[in-house]
Amino acid sequence: MNKSHLIAHVAEELRTSKLQAALLVETVLKGIQKGLESDQSVTLTGFGTFELKPRKARVGRNPHTGEPISIAPGKRVGFRVGKALKDSF
């Protein structure tokens, strides 16, 4: 399922237009992003937890030349599945 499928599903479930469903989906995604920026994690009980995790600096390789390049430290978003979601499979 991609974003457009999700929007269509929300529109169908709520019996609303795809435009309104798209606005709802975008609002939820922006809320998750703001939560990660301010609190470093967002927990949706029964679904899972999004967390910012640090990534160490490392050495990679240029795929064209094979030369080593240094990759700066950064952050990545991790996701831990909640119990209810895990049990649904």
Amino acid 18: pLDDT = 95
CATH code for the domain defined by 41-89: 4.10.520.10
- 40 Rama sector, left if φ>0, alpha if ψ -120 to 50, beta otherwise: left
pTM of the model: 0.75
Tell which residue, 67, 68, 71, has the closest CA to residue 57.
71
Distance of CA 52 to the CA centre of its chain: 10
6-39: pLDDT as tens digits: 999 999 999 999 999 999 999 999 999 999 999 8
50-74: pLDDT as tens digits: 999 999 999 999 999 999 999 999 9
